[in-house]
Amino acid sequence: EDPQHAEKTWQEGGRTLHQSYQKDGSQAEFRVVLKNGIVVSLEADDMDIGAVRRLMSQVNLSTLEGLQRKS
């Protein structure tokens, strides 16, 4: 983290979450790696990280997690 940018990665409920954003709200990214390895990522310009996380909360991650990956 520095005065302009913040980044964090953590585990929650068997998923890996990552957020990266500009503190002035000019860019934000929120990424979730699901238990089955599927990656769901949202990126936005001119939107703060809170808004991007609220958008991600509208994605049905449980349904995606139930999908089988093709090899």
The pLDDT value recorded for residue 30 is: 98
pLDDT at position 68 is: 82
Asked whether residue 68 is domain-assigned, the answer is: no
pLDDT higher than threshold 90 for residue 71: no
Specify the number of domains making up the chain.
1
Mean pLDDT over residues 59-65, rounded?
95
Q: What is the pLDDT of residue 60?
A: 97
64 inside domain: no
- Judge whether 17 lies within some domain: yes
Q: Which of 6, 59, 3 is nearest to 28 (CA)?
A: 6
pTM exceeds 0.85, yes or no? yes
Distance CA 7, CA 60 (A): 24
Cα separation, 58 vs 64, whole angstroms: 13
Structure confidence at residue 25 as a pLDDT band (50, 70, 90): very high
- Please indicate, yes or no, if residue 65 is contained in any of the structural domains: no
Domain contains 44: yes
Q: Would 69 be classed as within a structural domain?
A: no
Structural domain range at position 31:
5-58
